[in-house]
Copies of this chain bind each other. A is one copy, B any other.
């Protein structure tokens, strides 16, 4: 447990700036024995704001999972709030794979009876809604709020998006009576600590949450079950551009 371990944090979009933001957030909370490798796909979409973007990004996630596995990482984080490709990634991986929406939602239920989500574009709300249903947290989420700015506004250097997130959190606390807030985008990762202090309630960033979850699973000797549903993909020919995804 005190041995050195690598955790791969995959930003599923191709924005290098966001990959750095996410990597920094991950490193800020990583344990003393953990080294963070923050990566993003070489091909794909620069931001993820819908189901189409997610489908494209899932392939990039899988490529990185395979690369991480070959590097011998102990576990993987999918650092986009829609957790794109999560179950596919679990099939491909040997170690644990944690999505940031998943990690943040789980933790929120352990520090408050109900939580709110603050996300970017309104059209990403449906993705969070589906995840709440899939993970079992429909009754734990009081409301979802969208700041109505695109994901990359978080990287434009003006601070406008950050201010909108702050306002969204304040409004969510007041309106919903929620005890905690989940930040609905990997690009908001660095805001969690200061907003937690300012608002006086837990404001949860999934990147940090997911890193700690992977560390925890590794420390416990637990990994993705390879019995049944999440077993390695059935061996078959992957043709064309997908050939490189094949496990040896």
Residues of A within 8 A of B (CB): 1-2, 14, 29, 31-33, 42-47, 49-56, 58-59, 62, 85, 87-88, 90-92, 96, 98, 102, 106-107, 109-114, 121-123, 125-126, 130, 133-140, 150, 173, 177-180, 192-193, 196, 200-202, 204-205, 208-209, 212-213, 215-217, 219-231, 233-234, 236-242, 245
Residues of B close to A215: CB separation below 8 A: 212, 216
* Chain B nearest CB, measured from A56 CB (Å): 5
Known: A110-B217, A193-B221, A216-B216. A55 touches B58 (CB 8 A): yes
Contact status A209-B201, CB under 8 Å: no
Residues of B close to A219: CB separation below 8 A: 29, 31, 212
Closest to A241 in B: B241
Closest to A123 in B: B229
- Given known contacts A1-B32, A106-B109, what 18 new A-B pairs fall within 8 Å (CB)? A14-B239, A31-B219, A32-B33, A42-B239, A46-B237, A53-B236, A55-B58, A96-B110, A122-B177, A123-B231, A125-B229, A136-B140, A179-B229, A179-B230, A201-B225, A202-B223, A209-B216, A212-B215
Contact status B111-A224, CB under 8 Å: yes
Contact of A50 among B217, B233, B242 (CB under 8 A): B233
Contact of A238 among B56, B102, B208 (CB under 8 A): B56
Residues of B close to A53: CB separation below 8 A: 233-234, 236
Closest to A65 in B: B52
* Chain B nearest CB, measured from A34 CB (Å): 11
Contact status A139-B133, CB under 8 Å: yes
Contact of A240 among B43, B212, B231 (CB under 8 A): B43
Contact status B111-A234, CB under 8 Å: no
Known: A44-B239, A230-B112. A222 touches B245 (CB 8 A): no
